[in-house]
């Protein structure tokens, strides 16, 4: 039986992360003035194609929603994910997508 990777919020490293096959995939974030900034998503080459980026994006966005945190997205991957998933793009107020 193949176990799904455990996703966790690593507050020390300021990232949502999962380990699979001895490597880490993650979404980096920063917190400043009570705003959570989603900065970058990284999935190692050998882990790509497993939808791990999608799983990380869902975890990060659900965390923001459940905790009613103001956020800004600078990560192009998560920006694209929000645009292609209406359940997230419909948020008003808590989610501000910013691309620089």
The CATH class given to the 7-97 domain equals alpha beta
Per-residue model confidence as pLDDT tens digits over 67-76: 888 889 999 9
Q: Which residue has the tokens 């459940």?
A: 66
2-53 pLDDT, tens digit per residue, is 556 789 999 999 999 999 999 999 999 999 998 999 999 999 999 999 999 9
Q: Is the pLDDT of residue 99 over 50?
A: no
Residue 55, CB-side half-sphere exposure with 13 Å CA sphere: 19
Please state the domain extents for the chain: 7-97
Distance between CA atoms of 87 and 93, rounded to whole angstroms? 14
User: Residue 57 pLDDT more than 70?
Assistant: yes
């Amino acid at each position: 039986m193949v176990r799904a990777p455990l996703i966790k919020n690593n507050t020390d490293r300021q990232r949502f992360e999962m380990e699979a096959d001895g490597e880490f995939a993650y979404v980096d974030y920063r917190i400043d003035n009570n705003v959570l900034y989603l900065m970058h998503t990284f999935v190692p080459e050998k882990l790509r194609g497993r939808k791990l980026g999608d799983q990380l994006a869902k975890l990060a966005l659900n965390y923001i929603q459940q905790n009613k945190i103001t956020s800004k997205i600078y990560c192009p991957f998560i920006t694209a994910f929000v645009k292609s998933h209406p359940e997230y793009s419909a948020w008003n107020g808590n989610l501000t997508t910013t691309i620089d």
